[in-house]
Chains A and B, each alone.
Chain A
Amino acid sequence: MALLSKKDSKLITDPLADNNPITIQVLGICSALAITAQLKASIVMAVSVMAVLAIGNVVISLLRNIIPSKIRIIVQLVVVAALVIIVDQVLKAYSYELSKTLSVFVGLIITNCIIMGRFEAFALANGPWRSFLDGIGNAAGYGLILIIVGFFRELLGSGTLLGFKVLGDPIEKTGLYAIGYENNGFMLLSPMALIVVGIIIWVQRSRNKALIED
């Protein structure tokens, strides 16, 4: 890795596993439950958060020396809000159907704890390049979990992946459906997303005992 120093590349790899924002820090759960019923929505959400977090981190990092600390939260909010509106408008312009599926949750990226958390904890104290990497890394860690959850929920709940009928047609009774398989409607409900996230946490911590608290 010539491009990134060892310290810098850790900024990206750490949040993917051992310091994952969702499974370790347990942040950003709400959106992980709300929009993961389809894989496509999960991917778009992951990309949107990555754009907002990476750019936002850079902006905050550049401004870090001139933001008065008393009003820093307000400044951070303005930055996120501006970025979220841009993302929202881009989605509306280029994939209207999807932006309808994601509906209010794109707007709610503003309240995603991961974003404010990274601004506070990292961008305010580090340079733009490192903040950018940190933003990419944390958003990737978040997106990874979203995509895993979305994959299982769409596969087991609707029998499709990205809209393709990978398990056969439930109405025509082809593929798996011919032998009596049926979609699991529970997978499409939010509680199951929580349980899937819980299982990911369980698997991760039983593979790496150092992550278990107390």
Chain B
Amino acid sequence: MNLKTRLHILKRKLRGSKMAPAFGALHTFLFLPDETTHNGTHIKVADDLKRTMNTVILAMIPCLIFGMFNAGYQHNLAVGDIQAVTSGFFSAEFWTLDNFFIGFWKIIPLVIVSYGVGLGIEFLFAIIKKHEVEEGYLVTGMLVPLIVPVDIPLWMLAVAVIFGVVIGKEVFGGTGMNILNPALTIRAFLFFAYPTWMSGDKVWVEGAVERTREIAAGANLDAISGETILGSLAQGKEVAFSTWDMFLGFIPGSVGETSALLILLGGLFLIFTKIGSWRIMLSSAVGAIVMGLIFNQIVDAGVITESSKFYGLMSTPFWEHLIIGGFAFGTVFMATDPVTASQTNKGKWIYGFLVGFISILIRVFNPAYPEGVMLAILLMNVFAPTIDHYVVQGNVKKRMKRLKVKTA
């Protein structure tokens, strides 16, 4: 008797019991269910919700692995154990096992907490409300560790995940009903609840916070720190990284957001598999470029001078905005969330454009919230249904007019 038959037998035993939804979720994760329906018309396709979710996770895996190497690299670089990379993406200084394991032991617990707590709540709600476990958390659970600083305490992450899943999703009726992207709700919660752990120059480098504490306790060590590019620009500091570093991702930042190159590859993969919407990705890049160009023009016209506190971010070349901070990651993996984004094609263009446009706007004008992408996407999530409504109404009106012309 193979595993599949055994599971089917077990399922029959559990049918009707409280644990049935929980078991069903695990069971269908591995195998197709053995029930057949007898009435109605059905379309059988391979890409069900679980397959879709897994494809997105697959697209994020390179970012996760890169994030592990980068966490170790940033740590060792700040401590002074290694030299900065010199020879492009495959630099030997970067891809060392030492770097990898520092990041691995830091990031794997984040992944485990994110999935453990999040899926725990999904199962709990499924059992209480007696419905099937929904797969919505599979992608969220992978997104969450990628968009937080590497040093975030695990209990904070757990609290935020509980908040994000319950308030961001379950109160609206679960997967598919949520207004806001759950992963970003979780990040926004962390951002407003524990700002000292989500911004500043200590949290982005593994061990920097602990080092500060040791020094305060009297240890004879050098302080280590690492400001994100956006943070440095907002404070008008010199950026210590080259544009090439920013593109390849050898910079401090949240775990998975640093490498624009790998995010781009992930995005192409999503477009190729038709999971992610290329309209949103493209239009939000266009939106960001337009806003960046406007700011560049303002600086060129001499309206804003170097004495202004906005100068640093305004004078950043428009294309550089695309590769610093979480813009690339947010656009590719979170703005394209099929539940919270606009549904209509025209709506997607408008939605994406405004995401990019507002991201850069918030970035420049609100240095207290250097990560404008998160807030821009959450804001546009709220407006997405309105955009869709007007696109649909516009279409209805156009057709009504056509009808009148014909009948008249």
Contacts and interface: CB of A to CB of B under 8 A. Distances in A.
Nearest to A179: B155
Interface stretch (B50-58, B187-195, B351-359): B187-195
A185 B155 contact: no
A186 B195 CA distance: 9
B164 to A, nearest CB: 12
Contacts of A187: 193
A39 B375 CA distance: 30
A180 B153 contact: yes
A126 B93 CA distance: 83
B171 A202 contact: yes
A182 interface: yes
A113 interface: no
Interface residues of A, number: 11
B192 A182 contact: no
Contact of A189 (B155, B156, B159, B192): B192
A182 B197 CA distance: 10
A64 B284 CA distance: 62
Contacts of B189: 186
Contacts of A202: 171
B168 to A, nearest CB: 11
Contacts of A185: 192-195
Contacts of B159: 184
Contact of B192 (A180, A181, A186): A186
A182 B195 CA distance: 11
A184 B167 CA distance: 16
Contacts of B196: 182
B167 A182 contact: no
Nearest to A191: B192
A211 interface: no
A30 interface: no
A195 interface: yes
B193 A180 contact: no
A189 B188 CA distance: 13
A196 to B, nearest CB: 11
Interface string A182-214: 101111010000010010001000000000000
Interface in B152-168: 153, 155-156, 159, 167
Contact of B194 (A182, A189, A195): A182
Nearest to A186: B193
B193 A184 contact: yes
A150 to B, nearest CB: 18
Contacts of B153: 180, 182
A166 B155 CA distance: 20
A209 B85 CA distance: 63
Contacts of A184: 159, 193-194
B171 A182 contact: no
Interface string B187-221: 00100111111000000000000000000000000
Interface of A: 180-182, 184-187, 189, 195, 198, 202
8 contacts: A181-B155, A182-B194, A182-B197, A184-B159, A184-B194, A185-B192, A187-B193, A202-B171
Given A182-B194, A184-B159, A184-B194, 19 more contacts: A180-B153, A180-B155, A181-B155, A182-B153, A182-B156, A182-B196, A182-B197, A184-B193, A185-B192, A185-B193, A185-B194, A186-B189, A186-B192, A186-B193, A187-B193, A189-B192, A195-B167, A198-B171, A202-B171
**What 4 pairs between A and B have smallest CB-CB spacing?**
A186-B193, A186-B192, A184-B193, A185-B193
